[in-house]
Structure 1
């Protein structure tokens, strides 16, 4: 089985078990967004600054890239955007469709593997919203090139990125370094065994070179960024950032 299919199956299982990032927003949250009361996250705890978003969402074409789960795309819909979601987890796509039916808006929900060329024409979208998810693919540079291709001139890429620190640790207490970076279970059997033991799918660390420099090399202009923590645990308690979020523009 390809590692991408293992990850889709794993995430489906997490969703059915009540995974935090697979719980759709409720009706009250959708109504509040329609009244201008909303926030979104790209990383575990910090809300994306409002000035990272366009001043108006009406008819904005938004792609949720590996962003299924019914958490952000319904907010975009409530604000007047036209949404497309691409995700490889059927359960995450089902959540998107469920919220769309409940709130009576349209969304194009596509099952697709972001490690492959994206199934969209050049200059298709005004904004791509990409929460932390590229830990589930081995090579992120082609993703940035595809995002650049499908964004319109002036379009925005808002991305959540894992900085790799979490992959140093094998245990939840995060107190003892076990692995070296880069973390690549396809070439390190002990890393794969650790992931399998914790039902974590197949995950990969990525460097600043791959993540942020990769966006720049794809042609993007970096407009802003911030760091975030896990939100809980040993590293969080010691103020260790484990995530970045970036606003890049074509």
Structure 2
């Protein structure tokens, strides 16, 4: 079985167990967004600054890249954006469909594997919103090239990125137990760790891959911030485990 199919099955189980990133927003949150009171996340805890977005999203073409679950796209739709969501887990796309039907807006829903060329024409989008998820992709630099390709000139990429620290420590976040890169396709011990905790197939990525890769793809870095897991020992010690980046295509 392809590792992306393993991940889709794993995430479906997480959703059935109440996974926080698979719970769509409620009607009240949608209505508040329509009134201008809104926030979205790229990483676990820190809301994305509003100045990372264009002043007016109305009419702009927004791609939610591996962003299913009915959390961010409904907010952008409430603000008037023309939204497309791409995800590989059917349950995440079902959540998007349910929210759109409930609130009465249109959205293009695409099931596709982000590790392959994106099924969109060049310069299709004004903004790509990509929450933490490329930890489920072995090679990220092709993804950055695809993001640059589907963005129009001046378009923005907002991305949440795992910095690799979570893969070094044990489940209690107390001991260093792994080397990097974390690649369960080439390390049977790391694969066994993921299977034991029902964590799918995940990969660590370096600063060079995550941010350097965006630059090599022709994107220009405008801003960034760090974030923690939101809970656990690393969070209590204020150790950042995620980055969020704002980049644009010139």
TM over 0.5, shorter chain:
yes
Q: 1:223, 1:168 → 2: CA distance?
A: 29
2:203 aligned counterpart, secondary structure:
coil
In the alignment, which residue of structure 2 is the partner of 1:83?
Answer: 83
TM superposition score normalised by structure 1? 0.99
In the alignment, which residue of structure 2 is the partner of 1:63?
Answer: 63
Structure 1 residue ranges, 4+ long, deviating more than 6 angstroms after superposition? none
- State the 1:13 CA deviation: 1.1
2:41 aligned counterpart, secondary structure:
coil
| Residue 177 of structure 1 pairs with residue 176 of structure 2 | yes
- State the 1:7 CA deviation: 0.3
Offset from partner CA, 1:72-118 (integer Å, 9 cap, x none): 00000000000000000000000000000000000111100000000
Q: 1:85, 1:58 → 2: CA distance?
A: 17
Offset from partner CA, 1:4-23 (integer Å, 9 cap, x none): 11001111111111100000
The two structures, once aligned, show a CA RMSD in angstroms of 0.5
- State the 1:170 CA deviation: 2.9
2:43 aligned counterpart, secondary structure:
coil
In the alignment, which residue of structure 2 is the partner of 1:7?
Answer: 7
Where in structure 1 are there 5+ consecutive unaligned residues?
A: none
In the alignment, which residue of structure 2 is the partner of 1:145?
Answer: 145
Q: 1:169, 1:196 → 2: CA distance?
A: 16
In the alignment, which residue of structure 2 is the partner of 1:18?
Answer: 18
In the alignment, which residue of structure 1 is the partner of 2:127?
Answer: 127
In the alignment, which residue of structure 2 is the partner of 1:221?
Answer: 220
In the alignment, which residue of structure 2 is the partner of 1:114?
Answer: 114
Where in structure 2 are there 5+ consecutive unaligned residues?
A: none
